[in-house]
Structure 1
Amino acid sequence: MCRQVFGFRLAMIALAAPAALLNAGPGLGVRLVGAAVVVTFMTSYVLFRDWERFGPLLLRHPTLLAADTLLASLLLVSAGPDTTLAYVSVCTPLLAGILYGWRGAAVFASAQSLILLLVHATLEGGSHIGPAERLLLPGICVITGAWGSTLRNLMLRFGTATQALAAVKARLAVTEAVGAERARLAREMHDSVAKTLHGVALAADGLAHLAGSADMDPARVRQQADLVSRAARRAAAESRELLADLRRESDPAHATDVLTELAARTADFTARTALPATYHRTGTDAGPPPLLPPAVARQLLTIATEAMENAHRHAAATHVDVRAGVDGDLLRISVHDDGRGLPPDTTLEHLRRSGHFGLVGMVERATSVGARIDIGRGGHPRGTEILVELPLAAVTLTPPTTP
């Protein structure tokens, strides 16, 4: 706002400078008026162009505005109060109100009004000017001074409100970040370590039952003990993977081939659960598999793994069909089982309230990486299909070229 005031001053000084020079007395008078024109014009130009740099100097030293007022008064005496320089005098109380508050506005408005009255009184022919015309500009100076002080108060209050709003937004952002991190940790624990440890507990219960039976079969005991051992090692590996994921950022140098990893997880699922699961590479793109950042790949693989585990634990399925591939610019991953399917009235809110966070976690994971997820029967006559579609343009990493 102060820059705009100085821009207005520049225009008014430029318009009134010729009249001031023409009306100045020869010799010393012309030099003084010319110097005043140059100083006031350059001062206004500097403050207009670099207000952020020189504005604080004017704010700390009101005497600089007082000196500028005296130079402008010299021009006003030379050019006359009926020129555009009269409007320059109106700018001074406005600036004083904005910069120094109501006290500065009162001082500079009074001084500028007194200067205008003296100019009217001392100019030749001033007696022919009516009282209303003489008091018009001084009255405007008082009004602009009050207006400047009011604007200052409004801007200070707006600045205080803006700072308070920024502080509230910062606190909300921190709270949201903490909540998102807690939700992410809950998903990771639910989808990896918690389920694996539950499997360890079930296997250990089975081992205890076999060991305590009268017709204990050593081969069955060894098989169950091996299952407990493998499940415990898997839980330890998942814990290490989770801790490593919490400590590292996505590193393009460690990109993940999602399709190959998904095929390996499908085969591991069949070996662990004895539920037949087949993997098929689909899509129209027969090129090399896409390389994704570790964070994105982890979310997609966890969704697929969770879908297979749900088919084993809850769906009473006899077969799981996993399909993945690139179709155009989309990476599609589909996990379909031939189980009982979801109840018709199932909603995410109902699942969240009842404590079933598996499907809720899938949706949250897909949303976190910008993927779209569909949960339902799809085009199949029975069962459940989890379909994830991820646009590759924003996440695919370029494979490093070998020299």
Structure 2
Amino acid sequence: MCRQVFGFRLAMIALAAPAALLHAAPGLGARLVGAAVVVTFMVSYVLFRDWERFGPLLLRHPSLLAADTLFGSFLLISAGPDTTLAYVSVCTPLLAGLVYSWRGAAFFASLQSLILLLVHATLKADRHAPVAEALLLPGLCVIAGAMGSTLRNLMLRFGAATQALTTVQARLAAAEAVSAERARLAREMHDSVAKTLYGVALAADGLAATASADAPDPGRIRQQAELVSRSARRAAAESRELLTDLRRQQPDRLDAGGVDGGGTTVWHELTETADHFTARTGLRVTCPDLDPNHLPSLAAPLARHLLAITTEALENAYRHARATHVEVRAAVHGGLLRLTIHDDGRGLPPGTTLERLRDSGHFGLLGMVERAAQVGARIRIGRGGHERGTEVRVELPLPPLPSPNGPDPAPRNP
């Protein structure tokens, strides 16, 4: 706003300078008016051009504005109060209100009003001008000073409110980031370390039952002890992987263009997960449609989320559904990748909601829903089109495949 004021002053001085020079007295008067034109014009130009650099200097030294006001009075005396220099004089209290608050506005409005009254009384002493005409410009100076001070206060309050809003937004963003990280850690711990430790506990219970039998089988005991050892090492490895992920400065991001290491590794790993789950729990898991040659490659973070959702669905079928068979299918329908995990168990209890599961300490389904939302997929958990059991269906939009003939040409208007 101060720069705009100086731009207006610059234009008014340029318009009134010829009149001031023509009405100046020859000799010393013309030189004084010429010097005043040069000084006021250059000061206005410099402050208009580079306010960020010279504005603080004007803020620290109000005497500079007072000197500029006095130089402008020479032009006003020479050109007269009826020229555009009268608008320059009104700009001075406005600028003082913007820069120095109400005290500066009051001082410069009084100084400029006094100068205007003296000029009016000197130049129009031979006339009987109305009092309203003599008080018009001084009154405008007072009004301009009040407006400048008011605008300054409004801008300062707006700046304080903007700063407070920015601070609140930054705090909210930090809180959301912390909440999202806590939710991610909860999912990772639930889907990795917690499940592995639960498997260690089951294997240890089996080892204790075998060892406490009347005629313990040494081979069976050795096999179960090796299972406990492998599960414990797996829990330790998952813990190290989780800690490494926390220490990483830039976590993996979902890159739509990047794929997992071998392109079809995710589908092989999904099949191996099903086979390992069957060997560990005895629950039969089949994957009739997981043909890597007919399924798309997936980005590594996306593949990790789909594997975690599948593993959680298998664990739920084994622990809670009393299922005897689980079927895992994957296919592409239109532009959607559809992954379904269906078990023949007893299904979800009536009235099951995420809120009730969270309150009761069961976070598996909640983690599945959060993982699907994180990768932009839609998940449905229910009976589906089956008579019994539970179906987990994940539908993920796939990016369009590039045309073999290159990009389609832009349509032309007929």
TM tier relative to shorter chain? 0.7 to 0.9
Partner of 2:297: 289
Partner of 2:111: 111
Moved more, 322-331 or 100-109: 322-331
Task: Give the whole-Å Cα distance in 2 for the aligned partners of 1:351 and 1:158.
Answer: 46
Moved more, 180-189 or 10-19: 10-19
Partner of 1:321: 327
Moved more, 174-183 or 95-104: 174-183
Task: Give the whole-Å Cα distance in 2 for the aligned partners of 1:259 and 1:95.
Answer: 72
Task: Give the whole-Å Cα distance in 2 for the aligned partners of 1:279 and 1:74.
Answer: 96
Q: Quote how far apart the aligned CAs of 1:66 are.
A: 1.8
Contact 1:270–1:277 (8 Å) recurs in 2: yes
1:363 to 358, 369, 381: 369
Residues 1:383 and 1:54: Cα distance change in structure 2 (over 3 Å): farther
Task: Give the whole-Å Cα distance in 1 for the aligned partners of 2:291 and 2:105.
Answer: 75
Residues 1:330 and 1:69: Cα distance change in structure 2 (over 3 Å): farther
Structure 1 position 267 matched with structure 2 position 275: yes
Structure 1 position 338 matched with structure 2 position 344: yes
How many percent of aligned residue pairs carry the same amino acid? 73
Partner of 1:250: 252
| Counterpart mapping for 1:139-178 below 5 A | 139-178=139-178
| Counterpart mapping for 1:6-155 below 5 A | 6-26=6-26, 29-124=29-124, 127-155=127-155
Q: Quote how far apart the aligned CAs of 1:381 are.
A: 3.7
Structure 1: 5+ residue runs without aligned partners? 395-403
Moved more, 72-81 or 273-282: 273-282
Q: Find the residue that maps to 2:157 and give its secondary structure.
A: helix
Contact 1:98–1:148 (8 Å) recurs in 2: yes
Task: Give the whole-Å Cα distance in 2 for the aligned partners of 1:49 and 1:326.
Answer: 63
Contact 1:276–1:320 (8 Å) recurs in 2: yes
Paired amino acid for 1:306: E
Contact 2:271–2:287 (8 Å) recurs in 1: yes
Q: Quote how far apart the aligned CAs of 1:117 are.
A: 0.8
Query: TM-score, normalized by length of structure 2?
Result: 0.84
Contact 1:279–1:322 (8 Å) recurs in 2: yes
Residues 1:60 and 1:261: Cα distance change in structure 2 (over 3 Å): farther
Q: Quote how far apart the aligned CAs of 1:201 are.
A: 1.0
Task: Give the whole-Å Cα distance in 2 for the aligned partners of 1:242 and 1:81.
Answer: 80
Query: TM-score, normalized by length of structure 1?
Result: 0.86
Paired amino acid for 1:384: T
Task: Give the whole-Å Cα distance in 1 for the aligned partners of 2:74 and 2:14.
Answer: 15
Q: Deviations over 1:246-290 (max 9, x none)?
A: 222228899455334333323322222222223355799948623
Task: Give the whole-Å Cα distance in 2 for the aligned partners of 1:161 and 1:228.
Answer: 61
Task: Give the whole-Å Cα distance in 1 for the aligned partners of 2:333 and 2:46.
Answer: 61
Structure 2: 5+ residue runs without aligned partners? 401-414
Partner of 1:375: 381
Moved more, 202-211 or 378-387: 378-387
Aligned residue pairs: how many? Answer: 392
Q: Find the residue that maps to 1:309 and give its secondary structure.
A: helix
Structure 1 position 384 matched with structure 2 position 386: no
RMSD: 3.0
Task: Give the whole-Å Cα distance in 2 for the aligned partners of 1:131 and 1:264.
Answer: 100
Q: Find the residue that maps to 1:14 and give its secondary structure.
A: helix
